[in-house]
Every structure is written in C-alpha cells, then in structure tokens.
Amino acid sequence: MSKTNQHTMQDPRTQFPPGETQHNEDQPDPALDSKLYPKANHGEDTYEGSKRLQGRKALITGGDSGIGRAVALAFAREGADVVINFLESEKEDGDTTLAMIRNVGVRGDAIIGDLRDESFCQSLADNAAEFLGGLDILVNNAGKQQFAETLDDLSTEQFTSTFETNVFGMFWLTKAAVKHMPAGASIINSTSIQSYQPSAGLLDYASTKGAITSFTKGCAKMLIKQGIRVNGVAPGPIWTPIQQSGGQPPEKVEGFGEHVPMGRPGQPAELAPVYVFLASQESSYITAEIMGVTGGEHLP
C-alpha cells in the first residue's frame, strides 16, 4: 500500500495495488474498519495539509471509517476543527478517528446518534455548532448499502431504512445546519456513480444516490441566495467496510473494483482531496456540481 504523499507523481494504476480484496471475510452490518482486511488507506501516513481550511468548522456524518474518516483527517490536517457523527455500533472506529483528529492539534469531538431520527439531526447540528463556535462546512456522508439479488429480496423495511439514512437524514441535517452557516459556507454531499450507472442488486441504494444528486443541484440553487455553496462527490468502487457488510455479494468482493479502466478499487485517501477542494475557498465559483472519483467510469 502506497506510503508516498499526495504530491509525489506516480502511475495511478499501481499507486494502490489491485487484487488485494480477494482475501476477505464478511462482517455484520454495520462493519468496522478495525476488522476490514485488507486495510483501507485513509491518508494516515500520506496526507499532508497546507492550512487550506485554517479556522474552519466542519461537521462530518459517517465520520468513523472509510471516506468519512479520510475526509475528517484531511480537514484536520488542513486546519479545521471537526465534529464527526456515527452510530453507537461504530464507536470503536469512531474513537480511533477522533483520536486521529485530536492528535493533529485541532479541536475534535464525536456525537453519536442515528440520522433516521429528525430530532437527533436537529440536536446534532445545534450541538456541533455549539462545540465548534459556529458551523461552516457540512459533509453529508453517512450511508446505508445492502445488496439484494432480486426485487423479492428487497424488503419494504430495507428500502425505507436506506432512504431514511441516505436521503431523509441528509435533508433534516442540512435544514438544521443551514441555520448556523454564514455566507461562504460549503455543503458537500456524498452521492455515487450508482446515481448514473445503477447496479441491479443495489436498487434502493442507487435510487437514494439519484435523489442525493438531484437534491444537491436543487439545494445549491436555493442556498446560493444565502452565499452557501452545495456540491457533491460521486465515488466509484472505493474499498471501505460497507463492501464487506452486505454492500456487495461475496463473489463481487473478490476482485472488487478491478472492472474500472484504472483496474483497481479506490482508497478513501484518494477521495479526501476532492472534499478539501470543495470545502475550501479555492472552489469559490463551483456550486451545484457533482465531482466523480471513479477510476475512469465517467459520469454523464
């Protein structure tokens, strides 16, 4: 696994080796990064900050592992104070991420709770803003993904839960957070290539990602009147615990991500710079945009 920083020129096809995902064991949902094999790279040994988010105040959902952990660590190394949110069942990973944030020397906190609860989303925004002394970056990253082979396998309970987590929680939290956000603030939503190229076995998940993509573009046009930018990031196949916890069937976990033009899955560390860019003032003329990080599986 690559140990070089993000400034070193490398062949992207081999920066992170393909094929490692063949050695895996399934985990119960929600899965933990502490049990993920092979381990994901979140930029722990590679990401170097340069004060691009100095003094900023960020709230990140799903911040315990995977993309959320990589983004939280990158934000901290860029100078932002960070609050992460995750479920009680993910506390082991969340504690690890929180320690990483605090070790950088910025202020960090964790607020545990379920985004499917509208009242919790309100309190999450309020408590994060109170701890941080304001709020100017929101990353709606938490997500639920469970593979279902056929339509009959996809229960109403799962379909509802996926929408509650991925879409309703994003809506409730965004609405609550905006009350604390000044002009110049940035909201970044995690959508997916599944929004554009849905897999049959991820019908509910892909549908929520389509909703997130549309929500992002519509919300951006609404909130720019307050000087708040809203953008999205659409990952392709990224190696995170969700893949081992029912997000993919076992036969697709083996060799996961090798079908894309780059020939390998992405690592969470490769997503973080895009979130940093969209959160920073460097992207001041960008809103209502979806940025793909897909290994070559292009967006429309």
The amino acid sitting at 59 is L
Q: What's the whole-model pTM score?
A: 0.93
Read off the tokens for 20: 């490692």
**pLDDT given for residue 300 in this prediction:** 87
Helix (H) or strand (E) holding 186: strand 186-190
For residue 205, the Cα-to-chain-centroid distance in whole angstroms is: 14
Alpha carbons 181 and 187: distance in angstroms, whole number: 10
- Tell whether the model's pLDDT for residue 211 goes beyond 90: yes
**Domains contained in the chain, number:** 1
Is 299 part of any domain? no
* Dihedral, 206, 199, 34, 92 alpha carbons, nearest 10: 20
- Asked, for residue 24, whether it belongs to a domain, the answer is no
Token pair, residue 63, equals 């911040």
Is position 7 within any domain?
A: no
Residues 278, 225: Cα–Cα separation, whole Å: 18
Task: Give CB contacts under 8 A, 24+ apart, made by 96-105.
Answer: 96/33, 96/34, 96/64, 96/69, 97/63, 97/64, 97/65, 97/68, 97/69, 97/72, 97/73, 100/44, 100/69, 100/72, 100/73, 100/76, 101/72, 101/73, 101/76, 104/73, 104/76, 104/77
For range 160-177, the mean pLDDT: 98
Paired with 58 in beta bridges are: 82, 137
Taking only the tens place, the pLDDT of each residue in 30-49 is 678 777 877 889 999 999 99
118 and 40 Cβ atoms separated by less than 8 Å: no
CATH of the domain at 187: 3.40.50.720
Instruction: Provide the pLDDT for residue 22.
Output: 47
- The average confidence (pLDDT) of the chain is 92
Does 149 reside within a domain? yes
pLDDT over 80 (residue 247): no
* Known catalytic residue at 205: yes
Region 147-175: what's the mean pLDDT? 97
Q: What is the pLDDT of residue 225?
A: 98
pLDDT tens for residues 58-96?
999 999 999 999 999 999 999 999 999 999 999 999 999
30 domain residue, yes or no: no
Domain-located, residue 19: no
Query: At a CB cut-off of 8 Å and minimum separation 6, what does 197 contact?
Result: 297
Which of these, 56, 100, 62, lies nearest to 78 by C-alpha position?
A: 56
Which residue did the predictor score with more confidence, 262 or 8?
262
- Catalytic residue, candidates 47, 196, 205, 275: 205
Residue 4 pLDDT > 70, yes or no? Answer: no
* Residues spanned by the domain of 143: 42-293
DSSP tag of 62: T
